[in-house]
Amino acid sequence: MFENIKKEFTTRTLVLIPIAIAINIAIGELVVRLKLPVYLDSIGTVLVGAIAGPWAGALTGGLANLIWGLFNPFAAPFFYVAAAIGLMAGFAGKRGAFQNETPRWVSVVVGAVFVFSLTLFILAFINASTDETGYTSYPSMSQLFSQYLGIFIFAILAGAAIGYFLLQKGGYAGMWGLITGIVAAIISAPTAAYVFGGVTGSGTDLLVAAFRASGGGILASVLAQGSVSDPFDKMLSFMVVWLIIRSLPARFTSR
Amino acid sequence: MAFVVLKNLTYLYPTSEKPVLRNLSFHIQEGEFVAVVGPNGAGKSTLCYALAGFVPHFFKGEISGEIEVNGRKSSESTLDEWVLNVGLAFQNPFNQISGAKYTVFEEIAFGLENIGVPREEMKKRVEDAMSLTGIGDLADRSPYSLSGGQQQRVALTSILVMRPRLLVLDEPTSQMDPIGAREVFGVVRKMAEEGMTVVMVEHKVEWIANFADRVIALKEGQILLEGSASEVLTSEALVENGFGVSRYTSAAREAKKKGLWKKERLPVTLDEAAEGFNLTRNA
Amino acid sequence: MNALGMYVARESGLHSLHPLTKVLLTLLFITAGLTLPGNWTGYFIVAFIVFPLAFWGRVVSNLFSATWKVSLPFAISVILIHGFFWGEGTPVFEVGILSPKWEGAIFAAISMGRIILVMSVFLLFSMTTRPDALMITLKQAGVPSSIAYIIVTTLQIAPSFQRKALTILDAQRSRGLETEGNLYIRAKALIPLILPLVLGSLMEVEERAIAIEARGFNSGKKETSLIEIPDTPLQKNIRRIVIFSIFGLIVLGVLWRL
**What pLDDT, in 10s, does the model give residues C191-212?**
889 999 999 899 899 999 999 9
Sign of the C-alpha dihedral, residues B78, B82, B83, B89?
A: negative
How far is it, in rounded angstroms, from Cα B42 to Cα B21? Answer: 8
What is the maximal distance between C-alpha atoms in chain A? 64
How far is it, in rounded angstroms, from Cα B101 to Cα C226? Answer: 11
Work out the average pLDDT over B10-29: 93
DSSP H helices, chain A, are 2-8, 11-33, 43-52, 54-69, 79-94, 104-126, 141-147, 149-161, 171-196, 205-213, 218-247, 250-253
* Min Cα separation C227/chain A (Å): 22
* SS3 state of residue A158: helix
How many other C-beta atoms can be found within 10 angstroms of the C-beta atom of residue C188? 14
Mutate which of C163, C226, C227 to test chain B, going by most B C-beta atoms within 10 A?
C226
Contacts of A22 in chain C (CB under 8 A): 154, 157-158, 160-162, 201
Please check whether residue B48 is in contact with residue B168, taking contact to mean a CB–CB distance below 8 angstroms: yes
Work out the average pLDDT over C51-72: 95
C151 versus C97: which is more confidently predicted?
C151
B16 versus A138: which is more confidently predicted?
B16
pLDDT at B62 over 60: yes
Cα first-last separation, chain A: 20
* Min Cα separation C84/chain A (Å): 9
* Min Cα separation B15/chain A (Å): 6
Q: Looking at residue A120, what is its pLDDT?
A: 85
Please check whether residue B73 is in contact with residue B20, taking contact to mean a CB–CB distance below 8 angstroms: no
Q: Say whether pTM exceeds 0.80.
A: yes
Contact flag A244-C195 (C-beta cutoff 8 Å): yes
**Residue B98, H or E segment:** none
Q: Looking at residue B187, what is its pLDDT?
A: 95
* Min Cα separation B52/chain C (Å): 8
Contact flag C5-A70 (C-beta cutoff 8 Å): yes
* SS3 state of residue C178: coil
Does any CB of chain B come closer than 8 Å to the CB of residue A16? no
Q: What is the β-pairing status of strands B166-170 and B197-201? A: parallel
Does any CB of chain B come closer than 8 Å to the CB of residue A72? no
How many other C-beta atoms can be found within 10 angstroms of the C-beta atom of residue B223? 17
Contact flag C4-B117 (C-beta cutoff 8 Å): no
Q: Which tens digits make up the pLDDT trace of A45-71? A: 999 999 999 999 999 999 999 999 988
pLDDT > 70 fraction of chain C, expressed in percent and rounded: 100
How far is it, in rounded angstroms, from Cα C248 to Cα C244? Answer: 6
How far is it, in rounded angstroms, from Cα A211 to Cα A125? Answer: 8
Could you confirm whether domain B4-245 is CATH 3.40.50.720?
Answer: no
What's the mean per-residue pLDDT of chain B? Answer: 93
DSSP state, residue A145: H
Q: Looking at residue B32, what is its pLDDT?
A: 96
Contact flag A18-C204 (C-beta cutoff 8 Å): no
Contacts of C183 in chain A (CB under 8 A): 36-37
Angle between helices A218-247 and A171-196 (to 10 degrees): 140
Residue type for position A213: A
How far is it, in rounded angstroms, from Cα B233 to Cα A171? Answer: 59
Q: How confident is the model at residue B280 (pLDDT cuts 50, 70, 90)?
A: low
Which chains, if any, share at least 3 CB pairs under 8 A with chain C? A, B
Contacts of A252 in chain C (CB under 8 A): 202
* Min Cα separation B23/chain A (Å): 24
**Residue B199, H or E segment:** strand B197-201
How many other C-beta atoms can be found within 10 angstroms of the C-beta atom of residue B160? 23
Contacts of B49 in chain C (CB under 8 A): 210
How far is it, in rounded angstroms, from Cα C13 to Cα C28? Answer: 19
* Min Cα separation A221/chain C (Å): 11
How far is it, in rounded angstroms, from Cα C34 to Cα C117? Answer: 9
How far is it, in rounded angstroms, from Cα C79 to Cα C77? Answer: 6
How far is it, in rounded angstroms, from Cα C14 to Cα C124? Answer: 10
For Cα atoms C197, C203, C206, give the angle at the middle one, nearest 5 degrees.
Answer: 145
Q: What would you report as the CA-atom Rg of chain A, rounded to the nearest whole angstrom?
A: 19
Q: Looking at residue B283, what is its pLDDT?
A: 47
**Phi, psi for A130 (deg, rounded to 5):** -110, 130
Work out the average pLDDT over B71-78: 95
Q: Which tens digits make up the pLDDT trace of B100-149? A: 999 999 999 999 999 999 999 999 999 999 999 999 999 999 999 999 99
Work out the average pLDDT over B33-50: 95
Q: Which tens digits make up the pLDDT trace of C132-150? A: 999 999 888 888 889 999 9
Query: Measured in whole angstroms, how far is the alpha carbon of residue A47 from the centre of its chain?
Result: 14
Please check whether residue B188 is in contact with residue B33, taking contact to mean a CB–CB distance below 8 angstroms: yes
Contacts of B105 in chain C (CB under 8 A): 226
Residue B118, preceding peptide bond in cis (omega within 30° of 0): no
Identify which of C78, C80, C208 has the shortest CB distance to residue A15.
C208
HEC readout, chain B: CCCEEEEEEEEECCCCCCCCEEEEEEEECCCCEEEEECCCCCCHHHHHHHHCCHHHHCCCCEEEEEEEECCEEHHHCCHHHHHHHEEEECCCCHHHCCCCCCCHHHHHHHHHHHCCCCHHHHHHHHHHHHHHHCCHHHCCCCHHHCCHHHHHHHHHHHHHCCCCCEEEEECCCCCCCHHHHHHHHHHHHHHHHCCCEEEEECCCHHHHHHHCCEEEEEECCEEEEEECHHHHHCCHHHHHCCCCCCHHHHHHHHHHHCCCCCCCCCCCCHHHHHHHHHHHHHC
What's the mean per-residue pLDDT of chain C? Answer: 90
**Residue B42, H or E segment:** none
Q: How confident is the model at residue A91 (pLDDT cuts 50, 70, 90)?
A: very high
Q: Which range has the worst mean pLDDT, C76-80, C128-132, C151-155? A: C76-80
Contact flag C179-A76 (C-beta cutoff 8 Å): no
CATH 3.40.50.300 intervals, chain B: 4-245
pLDDT at A11 over 90: yes
Angle between helices C131-140 and C145-174 (to 10 degrees): 150
Find which of A117-121, A224-228, C37-41, C110-114 is predicted with most confidence, using mean pLDDT.
C110-114
Angle between helices C131-140 and C19-35 (to 10 degrees): 90
pLDDT at B282 over 60: no
Q: Looking at residue C32, what is its pLDDT?
A: 94
pLDDT at A210 over 70: yes
Query: Measured in whole angstroms, how far is the alpha carbon of residue A17 from the centre of its chain?
Result: 20
Q: How confident is the model at residue A130 (pLDDT cuts 50, 70, 90)?
A: low
Residues 223-242 of A with CB under 8 A from C: 240
* Min Cα separation A250/chain B (Å): 7
* SS3 state of residue B86: strand
Mutate which of B49, B110, B113 to test chain C, going by most C C-beta atoms within 10 A?
B113
Contacts of A64 in chain C (CB under 8 A): 154
Work out the average pLDDT over B3-24: 93
Residues contacting B96, CB < 8 A, separation 6+? B89, B90, B151, B154, B155, B158, C207, C208, C211
Of the candidates A13, A74, A82, the one whose C-alpha atom is nearest the C-alpha of residue A41 is: A82
Q: How many CA atoms lie within 13 A of C111 on its CB side?
A: 29
Q: Which range has the worst mean pLDDT, A72-86, A135-149, B54-68? A: A135-149
Residue type for position B227: G
**Phi, psi for A166 (deg, rounded to 5):** -100, -50
Q: Looking at residue C85, what is its pLDDT?
A: 80
Contact flag B14-A254 (C-beta cutoff 8 Å): yes
Task: Give B88's strand partners.
Answer: B168
Dihedral, CA of residue C123, residue C124, residue C126 and residue C127, to nearest 10? 110
Q: How confident is the model at residue B213 (pLDDT cuts 50, 70, 90)?
A: very high
Task: Give B87's strand partners.
Answer: B167
**Phi, psi for C175 (deg, rounded to 5):** -90, 5
Which chains, if any, share at least 3 CB pairs under 8 A with chain A? B, C
Does any CB of chain A come closer than 8 Å to the CB of residue B80? no
Task: Give B26's strand partners.
Answer: B6
**Residue B266, H or E segment:** none
Please check whether residue A165 is in contact with residue A97, taking contact to mean a CB–CB distance below 8 angstroms: no
**Complex ipTM:** 0.93
Work out the average pLDDT over C89-112: 83
pLDDT at C100 over 80: yes
Query: Measured in whole angstroms, how far is the alpha carbon of residue B114 from the centre of its chain?
Result: 24
